[in-house]
Amino acid sequence: ATEVGDALPHWEVAAYLVNPAQLTQAARIASLTLGLLITVLLLAIGVGSWLIVRSLNSELKLARQKTDFVSNVSHELKTPLTSIRMFSELLADGRVTDSGKQRSYLNIITAEAARLTRLINNVLDFSRMERGEKKYNFQSCDLEEVVRMTAETFRPHFQANGFKFECAVPEGKILVEGDCDALSQVIVNLLSNAEKYSIAPERRPPARRVDDGDSGHAGAETSAPAKDISVSLAQKSSPLSHAEIRVMDRGPGVPRGSGEKIFEKFYRAHDSLSNGIQGSGLGLTIARQIARAHGGDLVYEPREGGGSCFILRLPVSNTDEHR
């Protein structure tokens, strides 16, 4: 309130709040809203920064994996090429006259060429899958034949390298609607991994196995032979009718906590630097993608008594209706 001025002595103009409590309340609401907004803003900045750091980290990880992949693949190409060149030069020179040696050199050349083919097929398939261009030739496919034939192509090589190899397939057809070549490629990838990661008994961890599963088989692996690979096929009825292919080895198994990660692209649980086992980190990625494209799945579980067990499950087709 203030006096109007000399012209109107004793006159005052005044402004009074009708409800002063309302103003206090409005101020409180305004300050609360402002506080809330600032909190939300800070929270958004925090979450945003966390998301950016996370995505940067995963980009970095992928970039590192890609670099490793390039060096792994180059190395994987170089190693078989070097031995193919070396042994074919030896044979071409005519210096090796012993027929046993000649046969063994030829076997090495064949095995190394098969390794090259596997690697190149995997890389090509992977790039097709990444571009969404992978095509399957679905038809009625007899799994019994696919498993038996694929396993038999490995048998001579396994036996020559001191592996105990067992292939247990039931008599009679087990039909699935699928691409026989792609399914065979899954088994090829699993069998070549089984060989690669089966290490000699003296290099194996002495006590417990390192894997994903519950304990309960500790100690048993010490008595099991390390060079033991088996592949089996069976038809199961529960929960739904499906075929189950198991590829098992007595190697060190997949390290604890990596049972799912091993199916990610470029992921390698055993890196080449630390143990010298070469690989591209694509074999299982491709194998699982093929399994899923067939309506099935590929999973890992530790093998009873030590080692790895990869299970490929595929829905079986109705034998009367197959096309």
Count CA atoms within 13 Å of residue 294 on its CB side: 34
Which residues, numbered 176-195, are part of the site for ligand ADP (CB under 6 A)?
Answer: 189, 193-194
Q: Which stretch binds ligand ADP (CB under 6 A): 1-9, 91-99, 163-171, 266-274?
A: 266-274
DSSP H/E element including 187? helix 180-196
And the tokens for 282? 């694509």
- Asked if 268 is part of the footprint of ligand ADP (rule: CB under 6 A), the reply reads yes
Q: Which stretch binds ligand ADP (CB under 6 A): 93-101, 168-176, 214-222, 277-285?
A: 277-285
Report the distance separating Cα 167 and Cα 246, nearest Å: 10
Pick the binder of ligand ADP from 186, 262, 311, 312 (CB under 6 A).
262
And the tokens for 108? 């090495």
Pick the binder of ligand ADP from 176, 186, 254, 291 (CB under 6 A).
254
Burial class (CB in 10 A: 0-12, 13-18, 19+), 253: buried
And the tokens for 184? 């065979």
CB of 281 to ligand ADP, least distance (A): 4
Residue with Cβ nearer ligand ADP (194 or 291): 194
Instruction: Tell me what percent of the chain is helix, strand and coil, each rounded to the nearest 5.
Output: 50, 15, 35
- Asked if 308 is part of the footprint of ligand ADP (rule: CB under 6 A), the reply reads yes
Which residues, numbered 193-212, are part of the site for ligand ADP (CB under 6 A)?
Answer: 193-194, 197
- Asked if 280 is part of the footprint of ligand ADP (rule: CB under 6 A), the reply reads yes
Report the distance separating Cα 231 and Cα 311, nearest Å: 10
Residue with Cβ nearer ligand ADP (68 or 179): 68
And the tokens for 221? 């692996």
The footprint of ligand ADP (CB under 6 A) covers: 189, 193-194, 197, 249, 251, 253-254, 262, 268-270, 279-285, 308
